[in-house]
Amino acid sequence: MREITKITPIEYLKGIGPKKGELLRKDLEIQTIGELLHHYPFRYIDKTKFHKINQVQGQMNGVQIIGRLVDIKEMGEKRSRRLVGRLADDTGTLELVWFRSITWIKKNLQLNAVYIIYGKPHMFNQTLSITHPEIEPYRNTDKLVGDRSLQPVYSTTEKLKRIGLDAKGMQRLQETAIKTVYKYLEETLPSYLLSQYKLMPYSEALRAIHFPQSQEELQEAIRRLKFEELFFIQLKLLHNKQLNTIRFKGHLFSDVGEKFHAFYQKKLPFPLTNAQKRVIKEIRKDTRTGAQMNRLLQGDVGSGKTVVALMTMLLAIDNGYQACMMAPTEILAQQHYNGIVELLGADLANIALLTGSTTAKNRKIIHAGLESGEINILIGTHALIEDKVQFKDLGLVIIDEQHRFGVEQRAKLWRKNKIPPHMLVMTATPIPRTLAMTLYGDLDISVIDELPAGRKPIKTLHYFEKSRLRVFGFMKEEIRKKRQIYVVYPLITESEKLDLLYLEAGLENLAQEFPLPEYKISIVHGKMTPKEKEFEMQRFVKGETQIMVATTVIEVGVNVPNATVMIIENAERFGLSQLHQLRGRVGRGAEQSYCILMSGNKLSKEGKERLSTMVRTNDGFEVAEVDLKLRGPGDMSGTQQSGVLELKIADLAQDQNLLASVRQIVINIFDEDPKLQLPKNELLLKYINVKPSAITWDKIS
Ligand code: ADP
Ligand code: MG
């Protein structure tokens, strides 16, 4: 019996000593043979085409020729010492020249043997030659790795190249690996899936991804491996989701009570949109079942997620539970607190705010109030995750702007109560469907796909520096109309100090153009204390200042409906979702709002596409799709969640359809066989917690 979870270190392979082993581990994170085989080629050189020598011309880029080595000799001395061979086919001859490794090459070449050579030809003194060609004996008999018409090219590093693991060396290593373990490669997918979806067997696919015999075979291998990769991610996510509903009893929010009604009928200052109503219904349904809710709430900037969160909290209170809401920054937590206190008034709930800058004294009072149950709603930053914060009976956790928090923080909040609280996770901006399915595949998803009525779409414009004066003029006009303006500077460097310099230079410019006492400017940046930030924010909120100059600290959530202009400096340096999030700070009132993107003249192709996407559309879901295409999933979600996204072969931007169908396939499997007990699903249970790439063998012969 082989033990599949045992590690087979990479050193088991012939040709890998401690030195290469260590470097493979360090540079490429390849520890085992299994991981080596899942280090896929990133491209292939097409060697299906052969040239006859009389077709070869000096300006060609690369040619492949089969020929006989009819002559080989050393020529020249010292610096001009070289090895010159002559390759012949039935149409002519060609020179092969080596300046380095002469002795070694000479020893390994055989006069009159047939070789395949590949290289870039050039014409010199009427003679056609190739310098340092790739050369290997012609043989077409190796069944496993075939004739290698499509040559795999692997990513490697300078250090690895120096110890022989260059392109060729990596190829040879993979060849050894596949030959060594091929017969041990076990199928990872049930056979009914293989036949139903016409998938290549696992061992075949692994062999073919490295050594494809044809384009068609390569495509099939890629399809199979992508399928498998996405399949096991979904299997695990949906399995967890299912376990949660079975395993965790949830609090029962059986009643819509007095507070919910009082708020809805007397205090809510606007009618809910249909989308908001629908989502509240979905949440009601979830929290009534007796199982624990895990729901992701997606909605564009300004779609009104906060009021949905608030009404869910009232539902919790009506049923005798406490609720808490976590936001990523102090500004945002403070703002949620202010907004919610204002909406609810003092009589409906006892609300507390807990952040990093809450004084020790107040902290004690809050801790006591939470434990006694006197406080119904706690709003705060990650300060509320701390172990010292204990609730009497926490029934609901809301996480705002989830992309700022890691999965671990979610889990910690989860453990705050004996019976885990219901969880409502809200995104700051929409995330693409495929990313949602992968990052939050264990959650149910609600979408607010409608903005409150009466919002005028924000006009987005892109200007270069030469239009600066026009922009200033426009700002003055808006201020004359009593509107307010944001001016945002990017995080240009890693150093906050330097960013401050950019901001200060801009500020100086602005202060000249907008002098006191007519104009007043607020400033908020990362170097300020929370108190100072809050003070400056409040001046702007109250309308005491007309311009708010800020770094990206204001990116998320800030809500000042009278602000109608968002000016983003060096806009080309921002990511798309950040731009969209910033734009969402305006357009919150009834007035026409504007987002002005200022950029330098030199724009990268990607920078151009980002800015033109912003100008083209206000739709956050569309922006998110472009963002995914441009940046890839890793960058989009931030480092905290990268674990799930270490995709080796599938691509969330390109493989949307495949992912959707794979997810459906997994859903169907769980519908039919919730516990994966059917014999035909045996393999799924076996692999659900072990990635196929992590599977290794303890014995190989
Ligand atoms: P986000 O979804 O970005 O968190 P908010 O919850 O901050 O959006 O809501 C944005 C603004 O829209 C707030 O000023 C809020 O009071 C207002 N709002 C929310 N729902 C409605 C609605 N149904 N009708 C009118 N205004 C609404
Ligand atoms: Mg919000």
Comparing CA positions, the residue from 427, 401, 405, 424 lying closest to residue 293 is 424
How many Å lie between the centroid of ligand 1 and the Cα of residue 305? 7
Looking at the CA of 447, name the nearest ligand: 1
Cα of 302 from ligand 2 centre, angstroms: 7
Let me know whether 378 and 514 are in one domain.
no
Q: Distances in Å between the alpha carbon of 214 and those of 119, 143, 227, 294?
A: 21, 14, 20, 46
3-state secondary structure of 595: strand
Q: Is the peptide bond preceding residue 692 cis, with omega within 30 degrees of 0?
A: no
Ligand of minimum distance to the alpha carbon of 298 = 1
> ω into residue 517 within 30 of 0, thus cis?
yes
- Distance in Å, CA 529 to ligand 2 centroid: 23
CATH code at 130? Answer: 2.40.50.140
Backbone dihedral region of 587: left (phi > 0), alpha (psi from -120 to 50 degrees) or beta?
left
CATH of the domain at 528: 3.40.50.300
- The protein residue with its alpha carbon nearest to ligand 1, atom 17, reads 304
Ligand 1 neighbours, Cβ below 6 Å, are 270, 272-273, 276, 299, 301-307, 452, 559, 561, 588
Task: Assess if residue 61 is contained within a domain.
Answer: yes
The reply to whether 342 and 232 lie within a common domain is no
- Domain termination residue (choose one: 165, 184, 203): 184
Task: Say yes or no: 18 and 72 in one domain.
Answer: no
Query: What's the half-sphere exposure (Cβ side, CA atoms, 13 Å) at 641?
Result: 21
Q: Which of 426, 303, 326 is nearest to 377 (CA)?
A: 326
In a domain, 338, yes or no: yes
Measure 588 CA to ligand 1 centroid, in angstroms.
8
The reported pLDDT for the residue numbered 553 is: 67
393 CA to centre of own chain: 35
Domain that holds residue 209: 194-247+655-699
Judge whether 315 lies within some domain. yes
Residues 198 and 268 in one domain: no
Are 585 and 688 in the same domain? Answer: no
Which of 300, 301, 303, 310 gets mutated to test ligand 1 (max ligand atoms within 8 A of its CB)? 303
Task: Tell me the C-alpha distance between 38 and 32, whole Å.
Answer: 10
**Residues 144 and 20 grouped into a single domain:** no
Q: Tell me, in angstroms, the distance from the centre of ligand 1 to residue 334's CA.
A: 17
Nearest CA to ligand 1 atom 23: 272
Which ligand sits nearest to residue 310's alpha carbon?
Answer: 1
- Kindly state whether residues 178 and 109 are assigned to the same domain: no
| Distance between Cα 438 and ligand 1 center (Å) | 28
What residue has token string 């912003």?
614
Angle between helical axes of 605-616 and 620-631 (0-180°, round to 10): 170
User: Where a domain ends, among 617, 641, 663?
Assistant: 617
Closest approach atom of ligand 1 to CA 428: 3
Whether 272 and 402 share a structural domain: yes
Taking Cα atoms as reference points, which of 396, 403, 379 lies closest to residue 323? 396
Kindly give the distance from the C-alpha atom of residue 559 to the centroid of ligand 1, in angstroms, as a whole number.
9
Q: What is the 3-state secondary structure (H, E, C) of 544-575?
A: CCCEEEECHHHCCCCCCCCEEEEEECCHHHCC
| d(C-alpha 614, C-alpha 597), whole Å | 9
Q: How many CB atoms lie within 10 A of CB 539?
A: 16
Tell me, yes or no, whether 684 lies in a domain: yes
Q: Of 64, 79, 68, 75, give the one whose Cα is nearest residue 97.
A: 75
Backbone φ, ψ for residue 502 (5° rounding) = -60, -45
CA-to-CA dists, residue 223 to 208, 280, 346, angstroms: 11, 40, 59
Which of helix, strand or coil describes residue 689?
Answer: coil
Residue 98 CA to residue 84 CA, distance in Å, equals 7
Q: Measure the CA–CA gap between 527 and 177, rounded to whole angstroms.
A: 53
Q: Which of 267, 268, 277, 307, when mutated, tests ligand 1's pocket best, judged by the most ligand atoms within 8 Å of its CB?
A: 307
User: Which amino acid is it at 11?
Assistant: E
Any idea of the CA torsion for 487, 490, 495, 498, to the nearest 10 degrees?
A: -50
* φ and ψ at residue 486, rounded to 5 degrees: -100, 140
Ligand with the closest atom to the CA of 268 = 1
In angstroms, what is the C-alpha Rg of the chain?
A: 32
The count of structural domains within the chain is: 5
User: 219 and 338: one domain?
Assistant: no
Between the CA of 537 and the centroid of ligand 1 the distance, in Å, is 19
Q: Is residue 572 part of a domain?
A: yes
- β-bridge mates for residue 445, sequence order: 296
| CB neighbour class for 690 (10 Å; exposed up to 12, middle 13-18, buried from 19) | middle
The ligand that comes nearest to the alpha carbon of residue 276 is 1
Q: Please state the atom number of ligand 1 nearest to the C-alpha of residue 305.
A: 2
Tell whether 422 and 464 lie within a shared domain. Answer: no
Rounded CA gap, 437 and 460, in Å?
Answer: 30
**What pLDDT sits at residue 642?**
42
Whether residues 479 and 611 fall in one domain: yes
**Could you tell me if residue 59 is inside a domain?**
yes
Q: Residue 410's CB: how many other CB atoms inside 10 A?
A: 18
The DSSP letter of residue 635 is: H
In a domain, 333, yes or no: yes
Give 359: exposed, middle or buried? Use CB within 10 Å, 0-12, 13-18, 19+.
exposed
What does the DSSP 8-state code read for residue 243?
A: H
Q: Are residues 328 and 363 in the same domain?
A: yes
Res 639: pLDDT: 35
Is 44 domain-assigned?
A: no
- Residues of the chain with confidence (pLDDT) below 70: 1-7, 48, 140-148, 401-408, 410, 491-501, 553-557, 632-645, 691-701
Extract the tokens encoding 228.
Answer: 């498998």
